[in-house]
Chains A and B, each alone.
Chain A
Amino acid sequence: GAVVSQHPSRVICKSGTSVKIECRSLDFQATTMFWYRQFPKQSLMLMATSNEGSKATYEQGVEKDKFLINHASLTLSTLTVTSAHPEDSSFYICSARQGRDTEAFFGQGTRLTVV
């Protein structure tokens, strides 16, 4: 299957700083990527849809100024958590697929801890 790589896998940052998470499709091009968030013992919740060359689409309740998404190329989307606070601590996972209605693949996830 297709490979989606996410980096870093784990990050600890101080409150008030910003953290950037990268999501790459290694062997295919993805015009659309998706960012999810998962709290402990809960399911994945969609945060935003990242569109190559245009603005991301955010789900209701997700602050677009706090979670900046950039999809600068067909193989890379980034999520930047700005001015992070402890409540932003979570597991962030990206997803991509080769075609519109094909199988989706997920990155390894990034565990963010804000201290």
Chain B
Amino acid sequence: GIQVEQSPPDLILQEGANSTLRCNFSDSVNNLQWFHQNPWGQLINLFYIPSGTKQNGRLSATTVATERYSLLYISSSQTTDSGVYFCAVGPLDQAGTALIFGKGTTLSVSS
């Protein structure tokens, strides 16, 4: 099955710093989403981005489907950005099936 690799596994930042999280996937996809899991476990949808670039406030994401990777950018990080960020993909050859998750990047932002 498709493999999803996220890097780095852990990231420690000072408030105000910028960061880039990466997601590599091993096969073609028709769905790619970024999530932030808050301390209570809720998955917050950040981006639905199977291709292209999107921005939402301090966050932006880019997916280069032909090269099988996606990047999540966090600018001017805040302590509330702390948590686990997951990338999840839907394989192209299995349309309509469940998302496959990477292992996540744990972000810690200190003031």
Contacts and interface: CB of A to CB of B under 8 A. Distances in A.
Interface of A: 1, 32, 34, 36, 38, 42-46, 49, 91, 93, 95, 100-106, 108-109, 111
Which of A32, A45, A101, A102 has its CB near the most chain B CB atoms (within 10 A)? A101
A104 B96 CA distance: 10
A91 B41 contact: yes
Interface centre among B40, B41, B95, B97 (most CB of A within 10 A): B41
Contact of A49 (B30, B43, B45, B98): B98
A100 B98 CA distance: 10
A46 B2 CA distance: 13
Interface stretch (B59-67, B71-79, B100-108): B100-108
Contacts, number: 56
Contact of B98 (A1, A34, A105): A34
Closest 6 interchain pairs by CB? A103-B48, A100-B96, A106-B43, A34-B98, A109-B41, A44-B101
A38 B88 CA distance: 14
A28 to B, nearest CB: 14
Q: Please classify how large the interface on chain B is, using the bins under 10, 10 to 19, 20 to 34, 35 or more.
A: 20 to 34
Contact of B45 (A42, A105, A108, A109): A105
Interface of B: 30-31, 33, 35, 40-43, 45, 48, 86, 88, 90, 95-104
A108 B31 CA distance: 21
Contacts of B42: 106, 108-109
Nearest to A34: B98
A42 B98 CA distance: 18
Contacts of A95: 98-99
A91 B43 CA distance: 12
A111 B95 contact: no
B99 A104 contact: yes
Given A34-B99, A38-B41, A106-B45, 11 more contacts: A34-B98, A36-B101, A42-B103, A43-B102, A101-B31, A101-B90, A103-B48, A104-B88, A104-B99, A108-B42, A109-B42
